Amino acid sequence: MDGTHAHARRRADEMAAATEQLHELGVPARIAPAARDLLVELRDSAAAGTIAPEKEPS
C-alpha cells in the first residue's frame, strides 16, 4: 500500500472539513469536494483490498 492509500482517510476528512468551511463562507467549492471524493474512493478501496477504477473525466 502506498502513501496515498495509507493517508487517504485523514486527507478525506481534511477535504470534507475544507469543503464545509468554504460552504459556510459562501465560497464556491469545486476542488475540495472533488479531492474529498477521490480520497474517499482510495480509502474505501484500500480497506477492501482493491484499487478504485479509473473514471473518465466528465
All structural domains of the chain with their residue ranges: 3-48
First-to-last alpha carbon distance for the chain, in angstroms, is: 28
What are residue 53's phi and psi, to 5 degrees?
-70, 150
Closest to 18 (Cα-Cα) out of 44, 36, 5: 36
The predicted model gives 14-21 an average pLDDT of: 96
**Does residue 25 have a pLDDT over 70?**
yes
What is this structure's pTM?
0.69
